Amino acid sequence: MDGRSTEIQRLIGRALRAAVDLEKLGQRTLWIDCDVLRADGGTRTVSITGACLAAAMAFARLQAAGLLKESPLRQFAAAVSVGVCGGTPVLDLDYPEDKDAAVDCNLAMTEHLQLIEVQGSGEEATFSECELQRMLELGKLGVTEISAAQKAALASFDPGSDSKLLKRLVGMK
């Protein structure tokens, strides 16, 4: 495993720990495999967002199978990329924007817009506090939209579809 993969794993772990009540999870291991099949920039951000939704779905399945009394998910976590391209703050940079951005920043936040992690740097440039503030504002808009999509996806998810199989796998009848 290379340094980039390790960094992304650790970032996902930090985001999930901010979203999950580990005491409610109990003596369980949560293993989420994030394979980004098609990325146009923002690999870290989509991994965090998808991992949190996958955890929420796993918890719903465990509840449906009677293995958890309540979901350990305290809140959703999501992440977005922001940057400054051509002097303008931009939300959700695609690859060409990311490659040419004067400033590149990833923001991981809870659905309540609390910061989990901020990764930002000037690419051969500096950026002002005002530009940082504008990127934070854009990031909050993006995370709000993503959190709503996560909730909608979870609401349309059928957690009981294979609860009998799940019970057999863990030795319950």
Residue 163: inside a domain: no
Residue 74: inside a domain: yes
**61: containing domain:** 3-158
Residue 164: inside a domain: no
57 has pLDDT over 90: yes
Residue 170: inside a domain: no
Task: Return the DSSP state at 37.
Answer: S
Per 3-state DSSP, the chain is made up of helix, strand and coil in percentages (nearest 5) of 50, 20, 35
Nearest Cα neighbor of 102 from 120, 129, 84 is 84
Nearest Cα neighbor of 143 from 167, 125, 116 is 116
Nearest Cα neighbor of 39 from 49, 31, 30 is 49
Residue 168: inside a domain: no
Domains held by the chain: number? 1
Residue 167: inside a domain: no
Domain at 12, CATH number = 3.30.230.70
Give the tens place of pLDDT for each residue, 83-109: 999 899 999 988 888 888 999 999 999
Please give the residue that has the higher pLDDT: either 116 or 5: 116
Residue 140: inside a domain: yes
Q: Which pTM does this prediction carry? A: 0.86
Residue 169: inside a domain: no
Give the tens place of pLDDT for each residue, 3-53: 777 888 888 899 999 999 999 988 888 888 877 676 666 788 988 999 999
> What does the pLDDT read at residue 39?
62
> What does the pLDDT read at residue 173?
45
